[in-house]
Amino acid sequence: MIKTVFLIILTIFVPPIGVFLVAGCGADLLINILLTVLGYFPGHIHAFYVEYVYFKRRDQARAGILDAQPAPGVYSAKVQSGGVHGV
């Protein structure tokens, strides 16, 4: 819970750091950096969307539910699987 709140607060100030913490260094981070540079608000929308997908998939994986459909606009396998290994 504390980690999630810290992540959200961090994302409010610097959206790419929040994306980096959940997705790692990859296409999602690059897209978020570009969106943040082009407009701070689009960077926020993308960052919170990536984090929403990550936490939703993590909760589903913990409940034993596997969503076979990839989330649109998310390219990180870590986010798509909710951070669960072997999925």
Q: Is the pLDDT of residue 87 over 70?
A: no
Q: Is the pLDDT of residue 86 over 70?
A: no
Residue type, 58: R
The pLDDT of 32-53, averaged and rounded, is 96
Q: Is the pLDDT of residue 16 over 90?
A: yes
Three-class HEC string of 2-14: HHHHHHHHHHHHC
Q: Is the pLDDT of residue 43 over 90?
A: yes
Distance CA 3, CA 62 (A): 17
pTM of the predicted model over 0.95: no
The confidence band for 84, taking pLDDT boundaries of 50, 70 and 90, is confident
